[in-house]
A and B are shown apart, each in its own frame.
Chain A
Amino acid sequence: MTTLALRTPSDRISLRVPRRATAVCAGLLVVTFAVAVVGLTTGDYPLPLGDVLATLVGRGDPASTFIVETLRAPRVLTGVFVGAAFGVAGAIFQSVSRNPLGSPDIVGFTTGSATGALIVILALGEAAGPVGLGAVCGGVVSALAVYLLSVRNGVQGARLVLVGIGIAAMLESVNAYLITRATREDAFAAAHWLVGSLNGRGWEHVWPVAAVLVLAVPLALALARPLALLEMGDDAARALGVRVERSRAAVIFLAVALTAVATASAGPVAFVALAAPQLARRLTRSATPGLLPAGLMGALLLAASDLAAQRLLDADLPVGVLTGALGGIYLGWLLFTGRSRA
């Protein structure tokens, strides 16, 4: 049996647990944890595991405490949480758009957030707080514009996607233009931010993402079954009692919130949202939106990429460069060996 049914004797509570997906989630969790541990113990100043643990319970020496608490832990945690947020958001967008290429960009969010960030960087120079805020504002404004422009007798899925793509394409050009009109230094700093980076991330980046994850993911999971039914077509879903417009709006709102906070923290590390759900799906071989596996895969992808970027390459390369390369190569390998079932 591919699924396990967990029930209380009176059938009051019953859950369906898909075996393979659960195993995959457990595996991803373990590997992500291992990556996090490596991230905490290695680096310019290698620390033995014992010291790291001591620091975490508050009994480490000042040097280790500084390295772990101020430098490494926030960076590792930001990577894990941002990756998870992008993974879940990507899975939602792909499910809603019924298209494996669906991503936060279908509501013009990623490009909009880039525009917002660019405007802030070019106007104010590169300061941490305002850039994130600019990104969120830009993303929200464009997502709102996309939503308002596609509403006509309710939101039709295809229309939403097309309007989103249109807005995104328009903003891409705006961004390229803004980069040419900036000074060399500003443009360079902007490009750095635009590719997505975890450099210099501190606790102020961790808490917002963690908070939104804690709020949004359970809600998204509660909406997972209506989301799955929506994939069968609006008619079939409605016939089964799904409140189509309401569910879709709710789920997109959650996805935008996750994308917003993740982008504000690390910049638009866009390929994670695209690749993580696909990679997770190929592992779980599941036909459901798979929010949890996608989130865990996103976390692993981002954390591992950042680790590789820091340790394996000498230059302080922003993580976005590596998520693109790693995710791309792995997905390519899967496609090539034909294990996919596209």
Chain B
Amino acid sequence: MTRLVGTGLELAYDRRVVAEQLDLAIPDRSFTVIVGPNACGKTTLLRALARLLKPRSGGVYLDGSLITSRPSKEVARELGLLPQSSIAPDGITVADLVARGRFPHQRLLRQWSRDDERAVAEALAATRVADLADRIVDELSGGQRQRVWLAMALAQQTPILLLDEPTTFLDIAHQVEVLDLCAQLHADGRTLVAVLHDLNQACRYATHLVAMRDGAIVAQGPPAEIVGEELVERVFGLPCRVVEDPEAGTPLVVPRR
């Protein structure tokens, strides 16, 4: 079962074509992770799935209908996105920023319902930034800020969540914390699609891995099934050994000397 599907996608920026004839179906309730070398098109693909980028040809479908044909606010209630870089307005507090994530559920006269309050409180608690609620976002550390942006995406309360490199700027402890949180969200029944740059983390957390190179999908499937030395060599150009992660049992890529 797949709610979110991209078919025959041709993705381009101005004159630069990034991908052609791309097909990707996101399995429901999966934790899909897209990996690949720099400039392989993974972020572009994610943006197309999030309807931020209009494909030159082909289309992205949500629940069978073209995602760009549906009202954007309606889509925003089903699909949330944590973008790679956002700007925190000058002087905004954590609580206010997270509250903005409720926009898709609000209307002119329904600006702050009890559901909104509850959703924000839950999001703050889930990302462990509740005690920072009154602090100003600009004054927080990189790791704290990333958690706040994640809280905003969570407050949107969408069954599908897209994350563009959610672990950037975080130290390893916080990276694991964010990914564990994602795993929890996944266990709660959400469909997650994330672009990660760390292959090992991807193997550890993904239930469905999509490996891309030069704008094409090279392989996709459960990490244990598809990740092997030839794949890593083909996608990243990195000679390696693939062993079993002693903690998680998932593939662990060890670069050869």
Contacts and interface: CB of A to CB of B under 8 A. Distances in A.
Interface of A: 3, 5, 7, 11-16, 98, 153, 222, 225, 228-229, 231-233, 235-236, 238-243, 285-288, 341-342
A13 B115 CA distance: 13
A242 B100 CA distance: 12
A241 B104 contact: yes
B38 interface: no
Nearest to B87: A233
B35 interface: no
B91 A341 contact: yes
A52 to B, nearest CB: 39
14 contacts: A5-B117, A13-B110, A15-B112, A232-B89, A235-B52, A235-B83, A235-B84, A235-B85, A235-B86, A238-B52, A239-B76, A240-B156, A285-B91, A341-B90
Contacts of A241: 71-77, 103-104
B113 A7 contact: yes
Nearest to A16: B112
A341 B136 CA distance: 11
Contact of A238 (B51, B111, B112, B115): B51
B254 interface: no
B81 to A, nearest CB: 4
| In the complex, the 10 A-B pairs of residues with the closest C-beta atoms, listed nearest first | A241-B76, A241-B73, A287-B92, A239-B81, A16-B112, A236-B86, A235-B83, A241-B104, A11-B113, A241-B72
Interface of B: 14, 47, 50-52, 71-77, 80-81, 83-93, 96, 100-101, 103-104, 106, 108-117, 156
Contacts of A285: 91
A222 B106 CA distance: 12
A14 B114 CA distance: 9
Nearest to B79: A239
B13 to A, nearest CB: 10
A232 B86 contact: yes
A229 B116 CA distance: 17
Contacts of B52: 235, 238-239
A240 B86 CA distance: 12
Contact of A222 (B87, B108, B112): B108
Contact of A15 (B86, B88, B109): B109
Contacts of B111: 14-16, 225
Most chain A C-beta atoms within 10 Å of own C-beta, residue among B47, B74, B101, B112: B112
B115 A11 contact: yes
A225 B100 CA distance: 9
Contact of B104 (A7, A98, A228, A240): A240
Contacts of A286: 91
Contact of B90 (A15, A236, A287): A287
B88 A232 contact: yes
Contacts of B156: 240
Contacts of B51: 238
Nearest to B103: A240
Given A241-B76, A243-B72, A231 B89 contact: yes
Contacts of B76: 239-241
Contacts of A222: 108
B89 A242 contact: no
A13, A231, A239, A240, most chain B CB atoms within 10 A: A239
A288 B99 CA distance: 13
Contacts of B73: 241
B91 A238 contact: no
A236 to B, nearest CB: 4
Given A239-B50, A240-B76, A240-B104, A13 B109 contact: yes
B113 A239 contact: no
A247 to B, nearest CB: 10
Contacts of B87: 98, 231-233, 236
B2 to A, nearest CB: 21
A242 B104 CA distance: 8
Nearest to A342: B90
B83 A14 contact: no
Contacts of B77: 241
B230 to A, nearest CB: 36
Contacts of A12: 109-110
A287 B109 contact: no
A232 B114 contact: no
A223 to B, nearest CB: 10
Contact of A14 (B71, B75, B96, B112): B112
B204 to A, nearest CB: 26
B100 A5 contact: no
Contact of A239 (B80, B85, B109): B80
Contacts of B88: 232
B110 to A, nearest CB: 6
A57 B30 CA distance: 72
Nearest to A6: B112
Nearest to B76: A241
B103 A242 contact: yes
